[in-house]
Amino acid sequence: MGKIIGIDLGTTNSVVAVVEGGKPIIVANKEGQNTTPSIVAFTKDGERLVGVVAKRQAVTNPENTIYSAKRFIGQPYDAIKSELGRIPYRVVKQNNDVAIVAQGKELSPQEISAAVLSYLKQAAEDYLGQKVSEAVITVPAYFNDAQRQATKDAGKIAGLEVKRIINEPTAAALAYGVDKKKNGIIAVFDFGGGTFDISILEIHDGVIEVKSTNGDTHLGGDDVDHTIIDFLIAEFKKEQGIDLSKDNMSLQRLKEAAEKAKIELSNMRETEINLPYITADASGPKHLVMKLSRAKLESLCQDIFKRLLEPCKKAMADARMSNSQIDEVLLVGGSTRIPKVQELVKEFFGKEPNKSVNPDEVVAAGAAIQGSVLTGETTDVLLLDVTPLSLGIETMGGIATRLIERNTTIPTRRSQVFSTAEDNQTAVDIKVVQGEREMAADNKILGQFRLEGIPAAPRGVPQVEVTFDIDANGIVHVSARDKGTGKEQRISITSGGGLSKDEIERMVQEAKAHETEDHKKREVIEKRNKLDGAILEIERNLREHRTKVGEEEALKLEQAIEKAKTTLKDDANDSEKLQKGFDELMAASHKLAEILYSQKGSAEKDGKEASSDKGPEKEGPKDEPIDTDAEQK
């Protein structure tokens, strides 16, 4: 079996690694550098440039030099509109997906990422002296299903079979755990160019188990750069009356200067930004010369840095751990070199962060180790990752019925039986949702499909088994099967949508804020469904056993049924009245229930006497409401 390479496909920089002699080796690119800028440029001559050479010509070709494409991968256009004012190249809407325009051609973010992957693939082939066709690629832990699938697609475009998608913090812990041979609870604080993740993991004798994960897919070093750029533009406009944001070439120079200043301020207290001939007006050329202190940078970016703490709190709560239980805090991603970030980490966890790993290279090293596990070269490591958000379907009344809870270890498979919500219903619509809210409409809809051809039958009789399957890459597959006919429909969630910036940041937070309100809504719907089901069941039993109940009792029960129907109609949103209506109906149906149970007891007694060699039969599942079209069983 050939080598499976490990690739950290980053927003700002990317790295490739391979395991040799049991240890991960970072592979240098053709320029001799271990990190490759995730930049792709297209020249007038039709040439495609990748990495350092693309970065070098960015100032003279800003409209056709694409960077930070990872921020757009797997995202719908509407989710990234706020990013568009910050980049010099054009991004357009293409069937609600993102398309990047370069030299008049529309390209998907996957194609841009594929160019970087192809470049790294070539570097690995040059190093190994053999062809490479398989890879493990890392993604932010908080990437949703669409973003993971899009990353796999990018690998395919680059000529790579992606054997596994793994989370960046998990890969870092894998490299750390294998290298240090340590046991304990590890927090991986991964602050990169475009994304932020925090994962809590337990390492014990080669088993690396993720306890929880949280993050923000739109928070990274890019945001620090843009804050510096905005500051420089504002100061220059005050001094010279010229708005540099309208000039793409000036914007590109400002971006490079901002990134350089950010890096320098990690080691210095003050730096000078000097950009001669940044622009010109009627009076002649203009130069930008400004000093920027570390204190000023920290003041400008205080809101960005504050946003790092909330995901940490959520991850600790989900792991059910206190900060004192954390043995090590690993810093991963180039943005963790910022002194203020290190200070915040120390304050939050109450201990000095571990800086023994290379924050730029450790993720690729972990990916390479996972590749060697898949080939069998490494045998003493087991990786247990989790899904970051809950998954389920919409059931009757708009409830989000969860089949897989967030932070469930993957791969995993869960099934649940549902039924129809109406008599003679021959199809059910399965709406797949992702998130933590009680109502389906408040979560992210990942996709939907229809199972048709269900035989016409009374409500609650058909049995539809819905199965969720999350593979080791974190990609979701959903199927629905009619147990009576064997007919089946399935869907792999591969839509280009994904979660928007606001959705991914607020999803769990909103769930907590709306917890009481959501539970009240759910309680009302469940009581409404319970009363509705009881009415239908009692009506059916009364029709079948009216003569055994007696006419007087039957008339009383009919009156109780009508009263319950009135409650269902007039008090549909009153939890107490719905419960009272249910209790009164059940009390009125006691006589009918006694007759049914006495008959059942006699039948069971007769059955035992007639066939004593038969074992007990499993009782069928209770019928509850899917969707507005189906019921949970």
Residues designated catalytic = 8, 70, 168, 190
Q: DSSP state, 170?
A: H
Provide the token pair at 578: 């719905």
Phi, psi for residue 178 in degrees, rounded to 5 = -70, -40
Smallest CA-to-CA distance from 442 within 530, 495, 509 is with 509
| Residues whose CB is less than 8 angstroms from the CB of residue 107 and which lie 6 or more positions away in sequence, other chains included | 66, 99, 100, 101
- 3-class state of residue 587 by DSSP: helix
Distances (CA, A) of 282 to 236, 277, 279, 453, 604: 17, 14, 11, 75, 101
Contact 457, 149 (CB under 8 A): no
Residue 467's identity, in one-letter code, is T
The pair phi, psi for residue 462, each rounded to 5°, is: -60, 150
Which residue spans within 38-173 are E strands per DSSP? Answer: 39-42, 48-50, 65-67, 90-94, 97-102, 105-107, 134-139, 161-167
189 in Cβ contact with 338 (< 8 Å) = no
Distances, alpha carbon 613 to alpha carbons 122, 608, 610, 616, 619, in Å? 70, 8, 9, 10, 18
Distance CA(320)–CA(345), nearest Å, equals 19
* Torsion angles phi and psi, residue 453, rounded to 5: 85, 20
Q: Can you tell me which residue has the tokens 């400002």?
A: 254
Q: Residue 269: count other Cβ atoms within 10 Å of its Cβ.
A: 8
Task: Output the six-digit token pair for 24.
Answer: 């991960």
- The one-letter amino acid code at 306 reads K
Beta bridge partners of 414: 468
Q: How many Cβ atoms from other residues are within 10 Å of residue 344's Cβ? A: 19
For residue 145, count CB atoms less than 10 angstroms from its CB and return exposed for 0-12, middle for 13-18, buried for 19 or more: buried
User: How far is residue 542's CA from residue 534's CA, in Å, rounded to a whole number?
Assistant: 12
How far, in Å, CA of 314 to CA of 219, rounded?
A: 16
The owner of tokens 């043995």 is 327
Q: Are 388 and 214 in contact (CB under 8 A)?
A: yes
Task: Compute the distance between CA of residue 508 and CA of residue 396 in angstroms, rounded to an integer.
Answer: 23
Q: Residue 543 gets which letter from DSSP? A: H
Buried b (16+ CB within 10 A) or exposed e, 179-193: beeeeebbbbbbbbb
